[in-house]
Amino acid sequence: MGEVWDNITSTQPGASGTVVIVTGIVALLLIAWRPVWRQTRQVVTIAHEGAHGLIALLVGRQLAGIRLHSDTSGVTVSRGKPDGVGMIAVLLVGYPGPALFGIAAAFVLKQGYAVALLWGLLAALLLLLLQIRNLFGLWSVLAFGAIVFGVSWWGSEQVQSGFAHLLTWFLLLAAPRAVLELQRSRRHGGGRSSDADQLRRLTGVPAILWVGFFGILTLACLALGVAWSGILPS
């Protein structure tokens, strides 16, 4: 345990350019290949609903539970005023949530704390687990947490760093696709209870503008993540 704590609190050598590029390509394949995306998208849902829950607590709402479903949808229930700035903030953060978590992870990696990032993620998943209110959601968080724990506990320093970069790339790259899927669903008549449509009802701003905001923010996080990765020529 002392050795683990030392690894968590100390910096690790930065990943090579090859590792950064390869993990980015693998993350892109996990997102672009539809049969795999149906499974890996659950990680995006976990981040999405986790962001809702985090902001709900920060704005003073009472978090009543989170559900994750097998179709990769999810719902976060919080009690409080049904409108106002707090509720808008909760709805606003869902789709950008994975990208915001991704850019936070990229910042931590930039400082050299790949191992700390993985153990911090485990702590966050444990807190999220306490709010899960259905069996599939419980299984999803436990399965993802088991993978992260396995890499954190048994993986070599190189494996831990590579996995941390892979997960960071995945969050940054998957967030814009989730926004595209939202608009595709809305265009085909679905998603009328989406975050964007609920924001329209609360603010009067057209849902398409909220979707556009989600897209711009997720792409901005991706661009910043690419700049921080060091793969661009200086």
Each residue of 85-134: pLDDT tens digit? Answer: 999 999 999 999 999 999 999 999 999 999 999 999 999 999 999 999 99
Average pLDDT over residues 161-174: 97
Residue 78 is encoded by which pair of tokens? 């919080």
CB atoms within 10 A of CB 95: 27
* Stated pTM of the model: 0.94
Inter-CA distances, 127 with 31, 60, 66, 88, 96, Å: 26, 17, 12, 23, 20
d(CA 85, CA 90): 9
Q: Identify whether the C-beta of residue 49 lies closer than 8 Å to the C-beta of residue 73.
A: no
pLDDT band at residue 233 under the 50/70/90 scheme: low
pLDDT band at residue 187 under the 50/70/90 scheme: confident
| Full domain range(s) for residue 131 | 2-9+17-229
Tally helices (H) and strands (E) across the chain: 10, 2
Taking only the tens place, the pLDDT of each residue in 123-153 is 999 999 999 999 999 999 999 999 999 999 9
pLDDT band at residue 184 under the 50/70/90 scheme: very high
Average pLDDT over residues 188-216: 91
Asked if the structure places residue 234 within a domain, the reply is: no
Domain count, the chain: 1
Residue 104 is encoded by which pair of tokens? 């936070």
pLDDT band at residue 215 under the 50/70/90 scheme: very high
